[in-house]
Amino acid sequence: MTNSLSAASARVGSGLRIGVLALQGDFREHLRAIEATGAEAVGIRRPKELDGLDGLVIPGGESTAIDKLARAFDLAGPLKERIADGLPVYGSCAGMILLAADIADPATDLSGAPQQTFGGLDITVRRNAFGRQRESFETDLDFKGLDFSATESGVPPVHAVFIRGPWVERVGPDVEILAQVEPADPEHASHAVPLPGTARIVAVRSGRLLATSFHPEVTGEKRVHELFIRMIRGEA
């Protein structure tokens, strides 16, 4: 199932310039999703390319690799500063990890130093929380904030694909929970990590920062990107 943008929604990003961090991961899919909203989408690899952005997307991929490459390209410091200064950012999967204030199970390098994040979201995440590649799964989620896509039957669920996805174990007082995976869903029987009696948080928002554990860019589900655009415009 896909939820493509309507003709009106395909113009919602008109006039905006949105960067996609293009160091590693599925940045090309995010570039296409941003372009579908009518916004200009540009790949970001150097600090000077952050100038003039209305928002930024941090894609899925390997959070440790993106962390190391961002530091190698002298992007980590400028990114932290821009996020702290209020740059709107959407992070999917690895992007959620990189926006988190804390990682429950950080990877470490050869010297034992833990991986770093850009921060911004007052959350604690757990990497690969639903299991490894073979435990990838798809499910439909009730997702807050998508009222702009309502039909006569209500707001259609978001079809979410989880590929080695994190989940959120702690949210701060200013963080809104947008979506959760419910443990009773029989489609999750293949999870490597049991989910007894606990819903797992997989989408959050704080101000103009948005993060999801899953990959809307790979399913044709465009409404999460449209929500991000509307957040930038102050319409959501």
Annotated catalytic residues are 93, 215, 217
Q: How far apart are CA 179 and CA 201, in angstroms?
A: 6
- Beta carbons of 195 and 143 less than 8 angstroms apart: no
Q: How far apart are CA 39 and CA 230, in angstroms?
A: 12
- Beta carbons of 78 and 84 less than 8 angstroms apart: no
Other beta carbons within 10 Å of 172: 12
Amino acid at site 100: A
- What is the distance in angstroms between the CA of the first residue and the CA of the last residue of the chain? 24
Q: How far apart are CA 66 and CA 95, in angstroms?
A: 9
- Of 168, 180, 86, 75, nearest to 122 by C-alpha is 168
Q: Which helix (H) or strand (E) holds 71?
A: helix 63-72
- Of 49, 18, 59, nearest to 36 by C-alpha is 18
- Helix/strand/coil percent split, the chain, to 5: 30, 30, 45
